[in-house]
Amino acid sequence: MGEREADRILVERVQNGDKQAFGLLVAKYQRKLARLLSRMIRDPFEVEDIAQETFIRAYRALPGFRNDSAFYTWLYRIGVNTAKNWLISHGRKAPTSTPLDSEEAEGIDEAELLRDTDTPERLLMSKQIAGTVNAAVDALPEDLRTAVTLREIEGLSYEEIAQVMDCPIGTVRSRIFRAREAIAVKLKPLLDVAPDRRW
């Protein structure tokens, strides 16, 4: 049974009054949702509150959910909209840059390509690359940061991202392309790549 099918069964159980089934969905997606929201909202306590609000909204809206999209795509869309509403209601825009702390820089270490502990020099270079990638992602405008995060970290398809962000698929492709280009510009000096060379 695939993940989407398992979610569909849990959703149907919730729709039939099984509150524990919703608890299973929360447990399954809580960390992934928080990781997505933390790219939009910097305060971990606020991220926790917004994630909780997202699940409350999802629970209330679940009777109308018809499985036209994957549950997590639908949930992420609610999360993105909840975060945007929070930013607006607090008179804030998504930050264009934030200081990078060491824990956040090491968080990118999930990517196997950045991990090479053979020598201290390579380890230092990996940390520099991770820090540069994190800083470059943080400096992106909100729409580009959300699109590239959904694609590269959450692994959503372009179609799913279009649903989450409520925009055409061409817009998603453009945002991801622009985000990758901005990140590449920051990485090229570290990787000794000619400035005019495309990746």
| 3 residue type, one letter | E
User: Band of the pLDDT at 52, cuts 50, 70, 90?
Assistant: very high
**Within-domain flag for 173:** yes
**Within-domain flag for 196:** no
Q: Is the pLDDT of residue 168 over 90?
A: yes
> Do 114 and 73 reside in the same domain of the chain?
no
**Within-domain flag for 197:** no
Q: Is the pLDDT of residue 100 over 50?
A: no
Average pLDDT across the chain, whole number: 78
> Do 106 and 85 reside in the same domain of the chain?
no
Span 124-128, average pLDDT:
71
Give the end of a domain, one of 89, 112, 144: 89
Span 93-101, average pLDDT:
39
Distance CA 144, CA 193 (A): 24
pLDDT of residue 92: 63
pLDDT of residue 50: 92
Tell me the HSE value of 14 on the side-chain side, using a 13 A CA sphere.
24
CATH classification of the domain holding 18: 1.10.1740.10
Q: 115 versus 27: which is more confidently predicted? A: 27
Domain residue limits at 8: 3-89
**Within-domain flag for 147:** yes
Tally of structural domains, the chain:
2
Give the end of a domain, one of 38, 58, 89: 89
> Do 9 and 77 reside in the same domain of the chain?
yes
> Which residues are within 8 A (CB) of 169 and not within 5 positions of it... i.e. 6 or more apart?
158, 159, 162
Q: Is the pLDDT of residue 191 over 70?
A: no
Q: Is the pLDDT of residue 113 over 70?
A: no
Q: 148 versus 103: which is more confidently predicted? A: 148
- Least confident range from 3-17, 35-49, 179-193: namely 179-193
